[in-house]
Amino acid sequence: MGVWRWWWLWWEICDTNAEFHTRIVEMTGNELLRMHMKSLAGRVPWLFAHTPDQDPRIQCAEHLALCKAIYDGRPNLAAALALSHIEMGRKPSLEALKGVLPPK
């Protein structure tokens, strides 16, 4: 696969991932959370593009589990899965962004 094809495919994964997160937030009905996500929406694909070490298969499995919990009407499980997903991604994301973000 050529470099440009690979880059396009990676960007599609990042963009789809960002769209998934936006849809999940919209499903909450929480207007404050929706407003915050709207302000971050353009940055989310950028974040995913800068954190390529996170395995998209693992991310997909976590997303599927979250969707299933929502679909099954299990809000406590959905909340726990969402928190776990955030916590599992936080440290690797911050590590990957060390060279990209300005120092504190």
Residue that is written with structure tokens 């769209």 in the block? 19
- Residue ranges of the domains in the chain? 1-28+42-51, 54-88
Q: Report, as ranges of residue numbers, the positions in the chain whose pLDDT lies below 70.
A: 1, 3, 6-7
Note the pTM of the prediction, 2 decimals.
0.73
Closest CA to 50 of 94, 12, 96: 96
Please give the pLDDT value at position 12: 82
Cα 37 from Cα 19, distance rounded (Å): 11
Give the C-alpha separation, 3 to 31, whole Å: 41
C-alpha 32/C-alpha 35 separation (Å) is 5
pLDDT of residue 44: 77
